Amino acid sequence: MVEFSANDGVDIRDHRASRLSSVNADKFDLILVMEQAHLKEMAMRKPHLRARTMLMTQWVGGHDLADPIKEDAAFNKRIYDEIKQAARAWSSKLGNTNG
């Protein structure tokens, strides 16, 4: 993922995944998740956040995005491209014309 994003001019080397907690989740207007199971978990664990939690692929088919950890480069590239497509769709929906 680092290499693919670098090719697009985005440096994610310092990014680390973290668990969503009530402490940090309340700061966000929109929470994007990768899988339907994550939506269900949010509804159960943090029902007050469910209204602002949506699937990353909401506007591009609404499918789950597989976790690319421990997968080969081709699989990672496919997931990266799906995330990029979904991010562009969200950007468009939210009114960002910068792409």
- Residues sharing a CB contact under 8 Å with residue 95, sequence separation 6 or more, in sequence order: none
Domain boundaries, the chain: 1-96
Tell me the pLDDT tens digit for each residue of 31-58: 999 999 999 998 998 899 899 999 999 9
**pLDDT confidence of 70, banded at 50, 70, 90?**
confident
Please give the DSSP secondary-structure letter assigned to residue 70. T
Q: Does domain 1-96 have CATH number 3.40.50.2300?
A: yes
Range in 7-11, 20-24, 26-30, 84-88 the model is least confident about: 20-24
Extract the tokens encoding 26.
């309340």
Evaluate if residue 29 carries a pLDDT over 70: yes
Alpha helices in the chain (DSSP H): 2-7, 22-25, 36-45, 73-93
Tell me what pLDDT residue 19 has. Answer: 78
Contact by Cβ (8 Å): 33, 56? yes
In whole angstroms, give the CA distance from residue 94 to residue 92: 5
